[in-house]
Every structure is written in structure tokens, then in C-alpha cells.
Structure 1
Amino acid sequence: MAKAVYDFIIKNGYSFNEKLEPVELFDSLIRNKFKEPLSVSYLKTLTCLARTLKEELVSKGKISLQFINSIPLRYNNNTSYNTTRRHLNVLVNYLYENNFPIERSKLKSRKQEETLHKPIDNVKKLLAKVKAFNEDLYLCCLFTYGCLLRPHQEIRLLKWEDFTSDLSHIRLSGNQVKSKRNRIVPVSLKIREILKRKEGHLNIFTGLKQPYSRSYFIQLWRRFKRLNPEVDREITLYSFRHSGAIDIFKRTGSITKLQKAMGHSSMTVSLTYLRGLEVAELKEGDMPMI
């Protein structure tokens, strides 16, 4: 008899658990999602989107598919659209999979052009100019070119504990890099000679626990360009990374090594760095033997 009653209750959608109101359920699920090991910047982005969704839920009593689609559609720039769409889908899919009343978006990604930063003709000459301007910016450029790290996150947030004891390598976990994959990067002797190790938990630029703001190197580079108008206007901090990629390929001829050095998840992305680069033509000896 008891089993029959239980089966009837379950079959008709009743529950022994107290049913949460939509806002309470939303808050509970979002809290659980944010307990996952997420990078600081990624968590900040998801928090902003979650706040937007909650405001709509509180105001309208539900989160409609039309509203969900309207968030990425605000952007005309394809990169911004794709990024927002991807992050938003992470939250919406999580809510959907945990029985929150919400529809999944069916918006497709947009094709976007890869941003190609102009290579530097004379890296040593430009580095000398940067060194005379600011030591922090100089070290940032060295890491960007010599270690192929990205300046505004991967380099800016570096701590001494990210280096091996002899400073010969940098070890970054997946939540510290764009590709979300662990990276081990060799550090050249020229860079090691400049470094003066401090306590592991300290940022290598500030000497404190806290790093500089995200705009730190952006502002330094702008000031450097204003004071050095002879530097090509199209040269950016990422031009050092692009130039380093080309140098690696010219010396090794290996796309696989280039992909690994750049920390790319796809070889297709690595190939974009070689656009316009003259690659040696195939010779008869390069062809498969019969």
C-alpha cells in the first residue's frame, strides 16, 4: 500500500522536498555554479551576466528566450557577439540541465576575422627604445616575444611561484591562460638575468600580492607610442608575440612546435600567424616515396 502511494506521488509530479520559488532556485543554482574552479576574470564575466538574467527574472517573473537572445544581439562586433553568446550559454545550459524553467538559445556563432598584429621588422631596436622608456614595459615585451605569453593577463598576473626554482621555466595552470590548458614555457637566459626572485606569492611587477590593473600595460604602451612617433602606428604589444611566432617557425619549420609554444588549442589558429609569410616550396625529395 505504501509503495503504491509513493509511486502515485512521484508519477504525478509531487515532491517531498520544498519547492523553491524561481528566484530562490536561480540563486541556489548560480551559487553552485560559481563554486566551480573558475578564473577570476571568467567568474567576473559570468557574475555580470547572471545579474542581468536575475534582474529580468525579478522584473518579469521569467527569463524568456527572446530576452536571452537579445543579450548577445546587442553587439555588432562579431567577436563581442560570439564571446557573450558563449559565456551566456554556459549559464543558461547549466540552469536548464538543473531543471530551472528556461529555454536554450539556438543562436549560431558568427564568422570572425582573426586579429593579425603587424610583425616587427627590428625587434632588438624596438626593445632598446622600450627599455629606455620603462623597465616594466620592457620586461613585459621580453616575455611577450621571448616566452610568447599574452601581456594583459598571463604576463601581468605572473607571480614568482609560477617560475621554477632556477627561473628557467614558467609553469601556468589552465585557469591562468586563455587556452585553459596547462603551459610550461622556457625562459631565455637574457630574461633570467633581469629577474630578481622574491617571495613566491608576490607579483613580479608590483612586488606585492596584488597585480597592477588590467589597463597598466595598455596605458604604458600608449604613452610610449606618443613619445616615439617614429614607431609604426600598427605595432602593438601583441606584435612582439606575432614576431616571436614567426621567428620560431622560420627556425624550426614546425607548425606543431609553433602551436605548442603559442599555447593554441587548434593548429588552425597557429597558421593564422603565418599569413603572408613565404614558406619554402616543395621539392621532389619532399614528396612520398613510391
Structure 2
Amino acid sequence: MKLSYPKICQEKLGKIYITVYQNSKRYRLYSSKRAGKDTYPNRFFGHERAEKAKIMAAEVYNFLLNGGVLNKEKKAKRHMSDADYLLLTIKQKRNQGLSEKYLKTLEFISQKTQEKSGGKKINQKTAFAFLQGYANPTSFNTLKRHVKALLRGAEELGMQRVCLNKIKNKKSKAKLHRTYADVGYVLEDIRKYNYNLYLCCLITYGCLLRPHREIRSLGWNNFSKDLRQITIEGKKNKSGKNRTVPVPSYIQKELNPKKNNQNVFSKSQKPYNEDYFKNLWRKYKKQTNIIQPGQTIYSFRHTGAIEIFKRTGSITKLQKAMGHSSINVSLTYLRGLEVTELKEEDMPMI
């Protein structure tokens, strides 16, 4: 049978594989391991996954063209311990160019879960015992996600599957960010310290965007030509929906547009890392005495929300301005900020 070039296919859930025929037998391959290579497209995402699939198809085709035979994939040796599988998984992830911080987190998880298991098989009880050491919901949920990623990688190598379905995420309690009484005074003080931090806080207040995700990732291509609007794609904001917000004139005056593909803050195509504004804020707080306990960058967003509600009295307008997926979220938001919706003259008279 004539050798044909492997066909790249995709499952409904997004996994990519290739189909190829050899000796009238059809093979479905998710990696180029059987061709003696080490390309795993499904360890990547988006455009990069598609590019890796092309590389895998080429590797398999060249292998067959040179007389190679697609034997059955050998299963991982059963004598490997769970610790071996975890170490091998981390080694493979290191080759994927992931951040050192993330890799150290995986190494920490590997070490602690092994300690909890006492050198025996890792199971759901072991994972839960490790996670129980974290009372903070955010830390618990983040580490749970990393545990799942580590175990999933180990399972792909042959480790026995560990089901974590019974370990539920912890619900975070609403955090009250104290608002600013004199927002102009605070903003001017921040401007003197660092202009990027000032611009971030100004847009957080005036456009009610989220600082660490939406604002940090802003490029000049998110702004309209007249700088009167900001448009953010659904994949870049919390609600998952496309969002357009007006830009007040006092923010427009502060903008100095560059190339369309440039990030507003980094002046390059790539935005600063997720901790950029957190670190700037922490350093700013250390050298000033005007920030009160409970006041954060998010306090500018909350202060702006109260201003909109006080001026419009419309919960619907507030919902749109905040980018909340549900009006119930906005109602909870106002209750948390202790906004008085009833005035004295609204109360029953005698």
C-alpha cells in the first residue's frame, strides 16, 4: 500500500492526533513516541498545539519513509514507584519551558504528597491530607489545580489513576476593599511614586477594569482611535464576554498611544508578569503613610462603583460598568460595600 502523509485530526474536547496507515492497518497517534521522537502536541495550547501536531506528523512520516515500523507502544514498567513517575513528569514539564516558579511548586507538591503517603501509593486521601494544610481558599484551590496537573502527567506515563472528584474547591469569602475618601489626593501621591502604577489605578477607578488581568494586559489596539473606548475580548476578562467601556476625558489626557501591538505599560508586545502591579503596590505602601488598612488597588474600582451608583441609582448600569455576569453579583457587591440604598425620606411616615 502506498504511503500517504499522516492526517491531523482533532477530538471534540480539543485533543489533537494523527491517523496514518501502514501495512493496511490504521494507526491513531497522539505523540511521535512510536517513531522514536518526543513530540506531544496536547501538552501545549492553541496555535502552539497545532504547530506541534505538524511537527509530529512530519516526524512520523519521515520515520515510515525510512522503513520504520509502528510497533505497539510499550507500557511503562510497573516496577516504577509513584515517586519515580512524579519526578519523571516534572522532568518532562521542565523541557516544555515552563516557569521555574511553577516547577518548584510541582517539586514541593511531589515531596509533600510522598511524605503524606509514607512511601506508599498516592491516593485521594493522600492528596486531601496535603491540601488540608491550607485554610486559605485561594491557596487550597490553586494547589489543588497544580496537584491535578502533576498527577495527570504522571498518569500519562503509566502511574495508576488518582481520582480527586471528592475533593471540592473551597469557596472564598467576599473580601471588603476599603474605599478612598479623597481619591484625587491618593492618585496624585501614587503619580509621584510610579507613573505605571498611577495609570493602572486611574484606569481601575475611571473605567472599573480589573487591574491585575484586564489592565495589565491592555495594548493600544484595545483603545479606539479617538481613545474614547476600551474593548476587551472575552478570553481576557473574568466574565468571559466581550466588554467595551467608555474612557473618561481625564484618562484620555494621560494616554500617549504607541504602536498598535505594544502593551500600554511594558512598551513591548509582551505584558509584564501577573505580579507586576502587586509588587509595585507593596513597595509603594511601604514608603507612604496615606494608605489605610484594607485599601488596595481594587479599592479604586470599588470607589468608582459607588460613585456610579450614587450618580445613576441604576443597578443595571452598574452591572454593565463592572462587567459582572449577573445582576445578583452587583447586588452582593453593593451590600458588601455597605451602600445605603434607602434614604430617610423613603421610610414610612406617621
TM-score, normalization by structure 1: 0.70
Q: Is the 8 A contact 2:30 2:41 kept in 1?
A: no
User: Is 1:228 equivalent to 2:288 in the alignment?
Assistant: yes
Of 251, 267, 271, 1:211 maps to 271
Distance 1:165 1:266, change over 3 A: same
* 1:172-210 CA-partner distances (Å, limit 9, x unpaired): 112212232221111111111111111111111222223
Match in the other structure for 2:140? 81
Q: Distance in 2 between matches of 1:79 and 1:51?
A: 17
Match in the other structure for 1:175? 235
Residues 97-112 of structure 1 correspond to what in structure 2 (within 5 A)?
Answer: 103-112=163-172
Q: Is the 8 A contact 2:239 2:325 kept in 1?
A: yes
Q: Distance in 1 between matches of 2:150 and 2:231?
A: 30
Q: Distance in 2 between matches of 1:180 and 1:92?
A: 28
Q: Distance in 2 between matches of 1:219 and 1:102?
A: 37
Distance 1:83 1:190, change over 3 A: same
Match in the other structure for 2:259? 199
Match in the other structure for 1:240? 300
Q: Which amino acid aligns with 1:186?
A: P
Match in the other structure for 1:6? none
Distance 1:264 1:72, change over 3 A: farther
Distance 1:143 1:19, change over 3 A: closer
Q: Compare CA radii of gyration and give the structure with the larger one.
A: 2
Q: Is the 8 A contact 2:219 2:262 kept in 1?
A: yes
Match in the other structure for 2:42? 32
Q: Is the 8 A contact 1:171 1:182 kept in 2?
A: yes
Larger relative CO (CA 8 A, sep 6+): 1 or 2? 1
Residues 38-57 of structure 1 correspond to what in structure 2 (within 5 A)?
Answer: none
- The 3-state SS of whatever aligns with 1:273 is helix
Q: Which amino acid aligns with 1:184?
A: T
Q: Is the 8 A contact 1:78 1:110 kept in 2?
A: yes
Distance 1:122 1:62, change over 3 A: same
User: Is 1:134 equivalent to 2:194 in the alignment?
Assistant: yes
Q: Is the 8 A contact 1:89 1:105 kept in 2?
A: no
1:228 Cα deviation from its structure 2 partner:
2.1
TM-score, normalization by structure 2: 0.59
Of 203, 211, 220, 1:143 maps to 203
* 1:93-135 CA-partner distances (Å, limit 9, x unpaired): 9x99xxx955351223334311111011111121122222222
User: Is 1:65 equivalent to 2:127 in the alignment?
Assistant: no
Relative to its length, the structure with more helix (as a share) is 1
Q: Distance in 2 between matches of 1:104 and 1:138?
A: 43
Distance 1:251 1:34, change over 3 A: farther
Distance 1:212 1:256, change over 3 A: same
Relative to its length, the structure with more strand (as a share) is 2
RMSD: 4.3
Q: Which amino acid aligns with 1:81?
A: F
Q: Distance in 2 between matches of 1:134 and 1:253?
A: 35
User: Is 1:280 equivalent to 2:308 in the alignment?
Assistant: no
* Stretches of structure 1 lacking an aligned partner (at least 5 in a row): 1-14, 286-290
Match in the other structure for 1:9? none
Q: Which amino acid aligns with 1:138?
A: Y
Q: Distance in 2 between matches of 1:283 and 1:159?
A: 46
Residues 115-130 of structure 1 correspond to what in structure 2 (within 5 A)?
Answer: 115-130=175-190
Q: Which amino acid aligns with 2:124?
A: L
Distance 1:220 1:89, change over 3 A: closer
Distance 1:178 1:71, change over 3 A: farther
**Percent of pairs with identical residues:** 40
Distance 1:197 1:230, change over 3 A: closer
